[in-house]
Amino acid sequence: MSVLDLSIKELQEKLNNKDITVTEIVQAAYDRIKETDDDIQAFVTLNEEEALSQAKALDEEGIDENQFPLFGMPIGIKDNIVTKGLRTTCSSQILSNLNDPLYDATVMQKLNAAKAVNIGKLNMDEFAMGSSTENSSMKVTRNPWNTDFVPGGSSGGSAAAVAAGQVPFALGSDTGGSVRQPASYCGVVGMKLHMDVYLVSD
């Protein structure tokens, strides 16, 4: 059983009780990605070195009962959300050399303030134009429950990563169903909250 089979609440309780470290949680995410992503193809860019460095720093900082609820939680980010210092391509070859964006999107600033750990960028239909994640110019993402099927889109990488147990939650974007539809295809919970959209395992 992976620690990522636990809910975010359960992981936070284990962190509070010092039964587990942030580094162990983050490493479990990368272990699961290495185990499954050749088949699922959810991630287009990983942030492993930086994420493990951040995890170590959070472990040294420590958590208290009043700490942010997302403290130390690994999250995957849809690749149309700008992340400073980490390649953002919208799953398009046109932007494949955009290796060092100059700023973080507002939602990333909020996640960074909450001390969540960015695991990497997730595949999507190119420029969010599609509903199957077959239209990425990077790779074709598969449904973790049956790789003969699509995960939906355009946030298919986000839904597939959560369903495959690679991360406990992921960030997507949704204008006309781009989170809610892949969530339904992959059997996870998709929430549209104003402009911030999250996918979580049930």
d(C-alpha 183, C-alpha 101), whole Å: 28
Q: How far apart are the first and last CA of the chain?
A: 16
Two tokens, residue 124? 């999507």
Catalytic residue among 132, 154, 155, 158: 154
Q: What is the Cα Rg of the chain in Å? A: 16
**From 78, 92, 121, 136, active-site residue:** 78
Q: Catalytic residue among 131, 155, 178, 201, which?
A: 178
Listing from the earlier edge strand, what are the strands of the sheet with 117-122? 43-46, 117-122, 74-78, 169-172, 196-200, 189-193
- Told to judge if 78 belongs to the known catalytic residues of this protein, a careful annotator would answer yes
**Count of C-beta atoms within a 10 Å radius of residue 74:** 29
Catalytic, 173? Answer: no
- DSSP states along 8-74: HHHHHHHHHTTSS-HHHHHHHHHHHHHHHHHHH--EEEE-HHHHHHHHHHHHHH---TTS-TTTT-E
Residue 137 designated active-site:
no
Catalytic residue numbers read: 78, 154, 178
